[in-house]
Amino acid sequence: MKITYSIIAPIYNEIDNLPELYRRVKEVMDSNGEPWEFILVDDGSTDGSTEKIRELAEKDKTIRPVIFARNFGHQVAITAGWDYARGDAIVIIDADLQDPPEVILELAKKWKEGYEVVYAVRGEREGESWFKLWTASLFYRLIYRITDVKIPVDTGDFRLMDRKVVDVLKQMKERHRFPRGMSAWVGFKQIGVTYKRAARVAGVTKYPFRKMLQLAVNAITSFSYFPLQVATFFGFFSAGVAILAIPVVIVMRIAGSGAFFGQATTLIAVLFLGGVQLISLGILGEYVGRLYDEAKGRPLYIVRTVPED
């Protein structure tokens, strides 16, 4: 049977959300009247989510479980979903139900109008602290300004993509992945659909500040040379300060000023230049480390259980 829609949901310790996620997705997709499949990618869960996914798959053959051998990360779980999806339209949705499954039909409507990437834009966000809202807003706008690809602001991974888009994305095997940036990079005909993001139904967020920071680093280093350009700027700035300071110091010493005698000035200059060098080395190290990971050529993920065709 030809599948029209593939719904992909990465799962990591979402035992409390799984029954409601399944119920709402099934209700929405059955009402649409077209063939669909639900790919649940278990990313090394330890709370019983794995067993629950298998239980649901035994009862409903539209569910296709992909069980990882260990935790490989949310972005890699999305990639696995792409690899196993059979539909003409592929939808990525979070398991915490902050992305309402009912919006899928709005995305599908735009797809039928001819758009090949339909991304969901967060118009409102319920149940999130001011710090989360502020850092998220800063993240999206920073990424938009400094990356080579114009990634739409206030968008997550919740989106629908045409089969031809996913086939292109499957060819991109970089390890440090940023799917929303990758889908923007490939081009095609794209449009956004605004929706109200709900509060998490149960459980805790899997993206604390540390992971959000790592995601930001991945996004920037995957789509921009801006950090390297910043390091170069600091280098030129330091050299310029030194060039301007040399004649000033010479004149003041000849004039007998005591402002530049002693070790304080030397220590400040050394600390400043040392800081600039270490920052530059750290930025360079981030890029070199990514080259090292790519050179090893290891698989993106290892699957313990694959879905039946």
**HEC assignment per residue over 229-288:** HHHHHHHHHHHHHHHHHHHHHHHHHHCCCCCCCCCHHHHHHHHHHHHHHHHHHHHHHHHH
Residue 261 has pLDDT above 60, yes or no: no
Q: Give 70-124 pLDDT, tens digit per residue.
A: 888 888 888 888 888 888 899 998 888 888 888 888 888 888 888 898 988 877 6
Q: Give 170-182 pLDDT, tens digit per residue.
A: 888 777 777 777 8
Q: What is the pLDDT of residue 281?
A: 75
Note the CATH architecture for domain 5-224+298-305: Alpha-Beta Complex (3.90)
Residues 6+ apart with CB under 8 A from 55: none
Burial call 179-201: b when 16+ CB within 10 Å, e when fewer: bbbbbbbbeeebbbbebebeebb
CA-to-CA distance for 121 and 194, rounded, in angstroms? 5
Q: What is the pLDDT of residue 60?
A: 85
The band of 49, judged by pLDDT with boundaries at 50, 70 and 90, is: confident
CA-to-CA distance for 212 and 230, rounded, in angstroms? 22
Q: Which of 116, 105, 62 is nearest to 86 (CA)?
A: 62
Q: Give 107-116 pLDDT, tens digit per residue.
A: 888 888 888 9
Q: What is the pLDDT of residue 38?
A: 92
Percent of the chain whose pLDDT exceeds 70: 64
Task: Confirm if 74 and 43 have CB atoms less than 8 A apart.
Answer: yes
Q: Give 209-220 pLDDT, tens digit per residue.
A: 566 666 667 666
Residue 299 has pLDDT above 70, yes or no: yes
Q: What is the pLDDT of residue 90?
A: 92
- pTM recorded for the entire structure: 0.69
Is the model more confident about 294 or about 36? 36
Residue 249 has pLDDT above 80, yes or no: no
Residue 50 has pLDDT above 80, yes or no: yes
Q: Whole-number mean pLDDT of the chain?
A: 77
What is the token pair recorded at 143? Answer: 């990424």
Q: What is the pLDDT of residue 267?
A: 61
Task: Confirm if 159 and 190 have CB atoms less than 8 A apart.
Answer: no
Query: What does residue 64 show for φ and ψ, rounded to 5 degrees?
Result: -120, 105
CA-to-CA distance for 51 and 300, rounded, in angstroms? 23
Q: Average of pLDDT values for 217-244?
A: 68
Q: At what angle do helices 209-223 and 264-296 cross, to 10 degrees?
A: 80
Q: Give 137-184 pLDDT, tens digit per residue.
A: 666 666 666 666 777 777 778 889 899 898 988 888 777 777 777 888
The band of 304, judged by pLDDT with boundaries at 50, 70 and 90, is: confident
CA-to-CA distance for 123 and 3, rounded, in angstroms? 31
Q: Average of pLDDT values for 293-309?
A: 72
The band of 8, judged by pLDDT with boundaries at 50, 70 and 90, is: very high
